Amino acid sequence: MAYVISPVAVPVVPVVGTADVFPVSRIFCVGRNYADHVREMGGNPDREPPVFFMKPGAAALPEGKDFPYPPHSQDVHYEVELVVAMGKDGANISAQEALRHVYGYAIGLDMTRRDLQQDAKQKGQPWEVGKSFDCSAPCSKIAPADKIGHPSKGAIWLDLNGKHVQNSDISQLIWSVSEIIATLSTYFQLTAGDLIFTGTPSGVGAVRRGDLLHGAIENVSELTLRVV
């Protein structure tokens, strides 16, 4: 048996402190997971069930690569997030067991064609064109959990051209990492290689070509990105 076309290369993200890489399978994203961002977007900040959407694994953009401004949009936004890298398969995972399935953590950006997303919302259409485009998931190097533990608190921030635009703490997540994994695993069989973007705090805004984004999560990782 032979492939009828050449198989696509597996997207990868580097691992902190090594020459190793993490193979990316799927990218799950959590919406509305910081109360201040929910208010910012005009929503109800009460603790409602988490909202999930997906990006293809190929949307991962590793540290060191520029972000190409996507077509068909005049309003592309940054959203800084804690990223969970899954290291073990599982379905119907309990919250108590969830962290045993985690390989490590990173900082990522859920880049969003906000104008297309809002248009889709108004028409009751899916969000894919607003959320799931090429290079829409920039991700830092992954810090293994066996090196840094499982962070439940720590500053998360993002600078745009040297100015602070997002600033919060991952302790402010409405749904914790354990709860996210437990809930998501009731809908999907999670696999080693999946990334989970856990939601963004308030302060989201637009980027322009030439902008420089620099963000960090305390004791996790940093990410620097140029918009081109």
- Residue 1 located in a structural domain: no
CB-CB contact of 203 with 167 (8 Å): yes
Query: Amino acid identity of 13?
Result: V
| DSSP structure class, residue 173 | B
- Residue 148 located in a structural domain: yes
Mean pLDDT of 108-136: 96
Rg over CA atoms, the chain: 17
CB-CB contact of 114 with 206 (8 Å): yes
Query: Tell me, what's the pLDDT at 98?
Result: 98
Q: What percent of the chain has pLDDT over 90?
A: 89
Query: Tell me, what's the pLDDT at 50?
Result: 85
Structural domain total, the chain: 1
The residue written with tokens 């540290």 in the block is 63
d(CA 42, CA 35): 11
Residue 107 forms beta bridges with which residues?
82
- Report the mean per-residue pLDDT for the chain: 95
CB-CB contact of 92 with 42 (8 Å): no
Domain with 61, as residue range(s), is 12-226
- Residue 5 located in a structural domain: no
Which has more pLDDT, 97 or 121? 97
CA angle 42, 46, 50 (to 5 degrees): 90
pLDDT-based confidence at residue 223 (cuts at 50, 70, 90): very high
- Return the number of other C-beta atoms located less than 10 Å from residue 26's C-beta: 17
pLDDT at 89 over 90: yes
pLDDT tens-digit readout, 20-62: 999 999 999 998 888 776 677 666 666 678 889 999 999 999 9
CB-CB contact of 21 with 13 (8 Å): yes
- Residue 3 located in a structural domain: no
pLDDT tens-digit readout, 136-192: 999 999 999 999 999 999 999 999 999 999 999 999 999 999 999 999 999 999 999
pLDDT at 10 over 90: yes
- Residue 53 located in a structural domain: yes
- Residue 222 located in a structural domain: yes
Query: Tell me, what's the pLDDT at 36?
Result: 74
What is the pTM for the complete model shown? 0.95
Query: Tell me, what's the pLDDT at 37?
Result: 65
Picking from 65, 199, 43, 77, the residue whose alpha carbon sits closest to that of residue 140 is 65
Assigned token pair, 12: 């990868």
pLDDT at 208 over 90: yes
CATH of residue 98: 3.90.850.10
Q: What percent of the chain has pLDDT over 70?
A: 96
- Residue 6 located in a structural domain: no
- Return the number of other C-beta atoms located less than 10 Å from residue 84's C-beta: 29
- Residue 2 located in a structural domain: no
Query: Tell me, what's the pLDDT at 45?
Result: 63
CB-CB contact of 205 with 160 (8 Å): yes
d(CA 217, CA 169): 8
